[in-house]
Structure 1
Amino acid sequence: MPTARETILAALHVRLSALPPTALRGEVLPERVPAEGLLILRDGDPGEPEVTLSPLRYHYQHRAEIEAVVQGADRDATFDALCASIGTALAADRTLGGLCDWVEAEAPQAVDLPVDGAASLKAAVIPVVLHYSTADQLA
């Protein structure tokens, strides 16, 4: 049976997979970036939980990361649309179907990356904070 953490990350990946860009999880950057862009979900860090007693609960603010990458002549507009679509997808259900207490993305800091012999990449890491609670740190 998967842990709460894995169930939540899988649900976030499913949410991202519904968007037009290709969505991967934990993969390396491929040689080619699809025209509509690329998203790579990184599991991130659950951090140190806050603990409450009676009943015992561990409350996490897990920081996952979405690497967003676009390439091409119109990469600024494509990148903007890509970030907006991520925000819209997360805002549609801030609890990922009741798995989380709250899901919220932070603002990306975009960078342009030159590529030899090809159009530059525009990329950013978009932190996503997943608020959830578990009865066990390993569950």
Structure 2
Amino acid sequence: MATVHETIAARIHAALLLCFAEEGDPPVSRAAVLPEDCPSEGLVNLRLEDPVEEGRVFGVPAREWSRVAAVEIVAQPGDEAGARALFDALAAKVGGLRGQAIEGVDYLDLSAPGDVEDPPILGDAPVRAGIVQITLYYETGDNPLEEI
């Protein structure tokens, strides 16, 4: 059985997979090392930071947590305008998570995409890369390592 923390991580990954389920969308990897070659549909990678305990709920044996999920997006379709358009389209798909209910997550907060200075992508074509941070807020029982 998985802990609550791992279950939440798996659910945000599954939600991203649904956001990128259309034909021609890039695959969504989790904690992968970005390759040096960027496919024409772009790259999307999920990296999860460690959970942070936000507090305890009085009267109930529960703890409140937050966890940042960084979604790395890389676009390199061939020209500058195409890179910007593809990056914006991929970031908008991540933004679609805002209205979704993710089981076990009380609420989530999305940041605007932040630029990455030098993505490790080869080639002469312009590259547009950035990170959208999603902060997940959820509760566990009194024992954060309990399995569900």
Give the TM interval when normalised to the shorter protein.
0.7 to 0.9
Please give the alpha-carbon distance, in whole angstroms, between the structure 1 residues aligned to 2:49 and 2:117: 23
Residue of structure 2 in register with 1:37 after alignment = 42
> Which has the larger displacement, 66-75 or 115-124?
115-124
Residues 95-110 of structure 1: pairs in structure 2 closer than 5 A: 95-96=101-102, 98-110=103-115
Please give the alpha-carbon distance, in whole angstroms, between the structure 2 residues aligned to 1:54 and 1:79: 46
Please give the alpha-carbon distance, in whole angstroms, between the structure 1 residues aligned to 2:131 and 2:38: 16
Flag the structure with more relative contact order, 1 or 2, with Cα contacts below 8 A and sequence separation at least 6: 2
Please give the alpha-carbon distance, in whole angstroms, between the structure 2 residues aligned to 1:62 and 1:4: 12
> Which has the larger displacement, 27-36 or 73-82?
27-36
Residues 44-63 of structure 1: pairs in structure 2 closer than 5 A: 44-63=49-68
Report how far residue 121 of structure 1 moved.
Answer: 2.1
Residues 15-94 of structure 1: pairs in structure 2 closer than 5 A: 15-18=15-18, 19=20, 20-72=25-77, 73=79, 74-88=82-96, 90-93=97-100
Please give the alpha-carbon distance, in whole angstroms, between the structure 2 residues aligned to 1:116 and 1:30: 9
Q: Is the 8 A contact 1:100 1:130 kept in 2?
A: yes
Task: Report SS of the residue matched to 2:114.
Answer: coil
Report how far residue 112 of structure 1 moved.
Answer: 5.3
Identity %: 35
- Counterpart of 1:123 in structure 2: which amino acid? A
Q: How many residues align?
A: 136
- Counterpart of 1:118 in structure 2: which amino acid? D
Task: Report SS of the residue matched to 1:123.
Answer: strand
Please give the alpha-carbon distance, in whole angstroms, between the structure 1 residues aligned to 2:76 and 2:122: 13
More strand by share: 1
Report how far residue 39 of structure 1 moved.
Answer: 1.0
Residue of structure 2 in register with 1:138 after alignment = 145
Task: Report the aligned-residue RMSD.
Answer: 1.8
Please give the alpha-carbon distance, in whole angstroms, between the structure 2 residues aligned to 1:127 and 1:60: 16
TM-score, normalized by length of structure 1? 0.87
Residue of structure 2 in register with 1:8 after alignment = 8
For structure 2, the 5+ residue unaligned runs are none
> Which has the larger displacement, 14-23 or 70-79?
14-23
TM-score, normalized by length of structure 2? 0.82
Residues 52-91 of structure 1: CA deviation (Å, up to 9, x unaligned):
2332111012112111111121100000111111111x03
